[in-house]
Amino acid sequence: MSRRYFGTDGIRGRVGQHPITPEFCLRLGWAVGKVFSKHGHAHVLIGKDTRISGYMLESVLESGLASAGADVSLTGPMPTPAIAYLTRTLRADAGIVISASHNPYFDNGIKFFDGRGNKLPDEVELEIEAQLDLDAVCVDSDQLGRAYRVPYAEGRYIEFCKASVSRGFRLRGLSIVLDCAHGATYHVAPSVFEELGAEVSVIGVEPDGVNINRDCGSTHPAALMQAVRDAGADLGIAFDGDGDRVVMVDHTGEVVDGDELLFLIASHRAKTGALRGGVVGTVMSNFGLERAFAGLDIDFYRAAVGDRHVLEALWKRGWELGGEGSGHILCLDLTTTGDAIIAALQALVPIMESDSGLHELKQGMAKLAQTMINVQCDRPAEVADSGPVTAEVKRQATVLGDRGRILLRPSGTEPVVRVMVEGEDASIVEKIAGELASVVNDAV
């Protein structure tokens, strides 16, 4: 069965437009409550990021869940991975995160975790969609759910993040600039790094409901690059709006992306004997990462884009480490989902255990030139598969030969076709990407 509402990471869209409306989310809460109440009184945890629409969506989801007889625990603004962790430790039946991750404030979404802190399996998502076709009948008054605030949610998660590194791990002597994207990490990330001993300065910690991800965070690192240079800091760390993606900036102001962070973590684990199995990337992972792993005899597998696909590939192979260039990094030995704070700490381990800084350590991976252009369109899959576009991809692949690769794909989270070209010669890469994007735009 095909999904009508669920995408690669929950349900997402423009606020006020179907399905991200109060009416739909009220019914969605009821449907989720019915599915998870099959075996008794359900308990569902709800968290959110800092978007202004979170207030509205939180209240209607709570009402829908309560009308189906499910109890609700509310955390307020918390990172997505914190909800995965709290769902598991509070013994809830399911967790809900109201967030559109790295998207602008006018988008929002509903993400789900099961009671173990994992993303919902396909069959549960389809069961929820089937419930949405039924009349939302309220349970009797004596069976209605109750709502509670979770006490000390921030402190619980901060301690969890600190426990992901060894007890003796310290960041003393390290100066860090944190960019929290005016998002869900704004009130937890600074405490984690300060309590581990780092000298911390912050930007992006003043959310007002509409400035989340605006010219800041992991998708817009220019502000952090400047802040690191101005402060003379050792490095900078940028999170996205919901705290599941991370990129870094070295002391020179250069960005260190998810591929490079994955290399740092994996190569250090391989050196210390802590790497179990290989590493999963995606079809978008830089070819330089694959080359670097080959040089270290580390197995590497490319999954489809999206942390859901990376996670499935890790499960299938029994591996623990994977991620994307965007900074979505999975350390399954430490937690069940992508966690930006935990991934950042894992990348800091080799820095603190060596005499080299971030700038020096990242040199172990030689990135190929990569250009990606997003072409806006209403029907990305249809455009990407059109005859003129596929013919141009084939022609340009012949021009590029074995000196690089081309990937053209419809986004699973935004109305765009992503045109990615990678190769040894930056000028050729940019030229081919521009020509391909032009053909895609004509097809639109």
Could you tell me the pTM of the whole model?
0.91
Distance separating alpha carbons of residues 335 and 143, to the nearest angstrom: 34
Given a cut of 50, the residues of the chain with pLDDT beneath it are none
Contact 366, 288 (CB under 8 A): yes
Beta strands at 175-179 and 11-14: parallel, antiparallel or unpaired: unpaired
Q: Are the beta carbons of 278 and 317 closer than 8 angstroms?
A: yes
- Reference 72, options 36, 125, 117; nearest CA is 36
Question: Domains in the chain and their CATH numbers?
Answer: 11-151 (3.40.120.10), 157-364 (3.40.120.10), 369-443 (3.30.310.50)
Q: Which residues of 119-150 are buried (b: 16+ CB within 10 A; e: fewer)?
A: bbeeebbbbbbebbeeebeebeeeeebeeeeb
Residue 421 has a pLDDT of: 95
Residues acting as catalytic residues: 101
d(CA 363, CA 343): 19
Say which DSSP state 7 is in.
Answer: B
pLDDT of residue 1: 56
Q: Please name the residues in contact with 127: beta carbons below 8 A apart, sequence gap of 6 or more.
A: 35
List for the chain the helix, strand, coil content (%; round to 5): 40, 20, 40
- List the structure tokens of 304: 């489809």
- Which of 365, 352, 395 has its CA nearest to residue 288? 365
